[in-house]
Amino acid sequence: MELENIVANTVLLKAREGGGGKRKGRSKKWKEILRFPHISQCVELGKIIEKDYDSICEKQPIGRLLFRLYCETKPSLQRCIQLLDAMEDYEVTPDENRKNRGEEIIKSFLTKQSPQKVDIAEGFAEQCRKNLELSPCREIFSTCLKAVHDYLSGAPFVDFQKSMYFDRFLQWKMLERQPITKDTFRQYRVLGKGGFGEVCACQVRATGKMYACKKLEKKRIKKRKGEAMALNEKQILEKVNSRFVVSLAYAYETKDAVCLVLTIMNGGDLKFHIYNMGTPGFEKNRVQFYAAQICCGLTHLHRESIVYRDLKPENILLDDNGHIRISDLGLAIKVPEGELIRGRVGTVGYMAPEVINNEKYAMSPDWWGLGCLIYEMTAGRSPFRARKERVKREEVERRVQEEEEEYSDKFTEDAKAICRMLLTKDPKQRLGCKSDGAEGVKAHSFFKSINFKRMEAGFVDPPFVPDPRAVYCKDVLDIEQFSTVKGVNLDQTDNDFYSKFATGSVSIPWQNEMIETECFRDLNVFGPQGTRPPDLDWNQPPEPPRRSLLDRIFRRHVRERTVMQTNPCFRFNPRTTFFSPLIHCSTQRCPFPTAECSLPASTLWTQCPTLPPSGAVVMWGATYKDLISKGLSRC
C-alpha cells in the first residue's frame, strides 16, 4: 500500500517537472495537435466572431499579443503601445518612486521635444504635470490612458483586422474551439474528493500544462438532483477571470462523468498549513498577505455580482509559488442587480448570523467569512469553536449569534480591530458592507503595508513558498472512494444538461496556457521579412490532411472511389489471420456474374487486373455494414 502511494506521488512529481525531457511534458505529436488550419478554413469564424477592440486586444491574451505585434510594424502605433505600458507600470510603482516615474513618462511621451512623443496624448501633458505635483496618485494618467485606447480602437483596429496578424488570431481561435475529450489529457493520481466525484491531477498532452480535473459522476448528480448546482458552478467559474480564484480551463464529458478542468494548486490548503506546520496559526505578515489576496478574490467575485458563501481554510489553496486562490464555488451564486437573496448554506462555524437566521443578504456573508479566516490564521483556532471540539451545530450557531469572540495576545491591535469590524453581528454595520465596500476593507490599517495594485499585478512576493518536492494531499489509499450508484439510469432527457456543461475550452485560460507553456512562442511564426507563411496565404490551397500510418498502408495500392452497384461481389482470403483492409474496387462492374467467394485467387486476379494484391477485402458498391452482415469480418 505504501509502495502504491510512493509510485503515484513519484509519477505526479515527474509530470509536474515537465517529464524531464526537452518537450516539457508535451506529447511527441504536440505540433500536429496544434497545427494551424489554413486561413481559408477560418472564413466562417471570421464572419461570426465579435470584432470588439476591448475583447480582442485587451481581454484576450493572444489577441492582445498579436495586436501589439501589428502595432510594432508602424512606429506611431508602437509609441502608443510603449506609452500604455509605461502608464500601466506607473500604476504598480511603489509609492516612494511614483513621482519620479510619472515625470519620466511625461517627459518621454507627452512633450513636443521628445522623439518618442505620442501626438494624441500631447494635450494631456500640462494636466498630468499639475496632478503629479499635487499628489502622485495612481489615477493621474487615467484620462490620457482612455484617450490612447479610444484612438487605437478606431482606424488602427480596423486596419489590424485586414492584416495577417488578425488572420493568425482566427487560426488560434480555431484551435481553441477544437473538441475536448478525455484523450486531450493524461490522468494522474487522485488528489481528493468533491461532492459528486473525485478530483485528480491531469496534464494537457499538447502543452504539458498541469491541471486538476474535478469529475462529477453523472449518476450521482442525477440521484441527488444536482444538475442545477453543477451547472451553476461551471458557469460562475467560466465567468470569473481572477488570479485569486481558481480558473476553469476546460469542461467536457465522458461516458460516466462530466468534468471540470481547473487550476491545479500544488501547495495544499490553508487548513493544512495552519494546523500541520508547527504551532497552529501564522505570523502577522503571512496573515496579512493571505487576507489581502482573499480580499482581492472576493472583490473580483463581487464585481461580477457573485457572493461566495463558503469561505473557510479548506477552500483557500496555495499554488507552487505560495500565492492563494479561492476554490470550490459550489455554493456561490449570482445576486440579481438591486436585489437581495436568501439561503441557509455554508459551513457550520463560518456562516454569518444573517445566513443562520435565513435573512436576506447580498455580499455580507463573505466579509464575515474573511473575519473568521483572519481570526483563525492568527489564533490557530476558529472564532466560535475550538479545534476538534465536539459540539452540536445548534450550540455553534448560538455562539455565532450571541457571543463575542475572544482575543489572545497573538493579536496585534490592528488584527483585533479588523476582526471585530468584520465579525460585527449586524451586516449593515459590518466592514465591507457599507458604501465604501471592498475599498473600505483594503483601507483598514491592518493592510497599511500592502500595495494592492502591486498585489493584483502579482508583484508582491509570498512570505512562504511550498516545497516543490512535496505532495500536499492525503495518501492515495486514505482518500475514501465513492460507492457505486445504484437504481439510476441515464437517458436522452439528460443530454440537454450534458450539452450545456461540456462546452470545451474556456477562452482566456486556454490562451494563457498557450503563452505560459511557450507554445505560442514556438508556433506563432511568420514568413521572412514579415511576409505571410503558406498557412496564411489566401492564394495557396490548404495542405491535404495528413493520414495515419494504417490509413496510408490500407490505401497504398488503390485509388479511393465509391461505386454503387446493385449486385455486389465480395471476396476475401480465408487464409489471412487478421482483418484485411477494406477496398473500393475502381471498376464500374463486377467481373463475375455471381457473388462467388470460392473462386481461386489466381482466376480472380487474372481476370480483374484492377484489384489489389491478395489478402484484401474487395467490394463493389457496398458499405462496411454490408460486409459485416455477410460475415466477412470473421476472416
Residues 306, 149, 56, 528, CA torsion sign: negative
DSSP H or E run through 246: none
Q: Which residue from 466, 8, 16, 475 is spatially nearest to 267, judged by alpha carbons?
A: 466
Give the whole-angstrom CA distance, residue 65 versus residue 56. Answer: 10
**Could you give the angle at which helices 413-422 and 364-379 cross, rounded to 10 degrees?**
150
Strands 582-584 and 617-619, by their bridges, are parallel
- Quick check: helix, strand or coil at residue 260? strand
Give the whole-angstrom CA distance, residue 278 versus residue 283. Answer: 12
Residue 214 labelled as part of a binding site: no
**Torsion angle, alpha carbons of 483, 488, 493, 497, to 10:** -20
Give the whole-angstrom CA distance, residue 13 versus residue 52. Answer: 42
Q: Which residue from 178, 319, 325, 302 is spatially nearest to 236, judged by alpha carbons?
A: 302
Give the whole-angstrom CA distance, residue 138 versus residue 274. Answer: 35
Give the whole-angstrom CA distance, residue 488 versus residue 482. Answer: 15
Secondary-structure percent of the chain, ordered helix, strand, coil, rounded to 5 = 45, 10, 45
Active site residue 478: no
Give the whole-angstrom CA distance, residue 41 versus residue 351. Answer: 53
Instruction: Write down the catalytic residue from 310, 319, 366, 535.
Output: 310
Q: What is the 3-state secondary structure (H, E, C) of 158-212?
A: HHHCCCHHHHHHHHHHHHHCCCCCHHHEEEEEEEEECCCCEEEEEEECCCCCEEE
- Residues marked active site are found at 310
Tell me the binding residues for ATP: 223
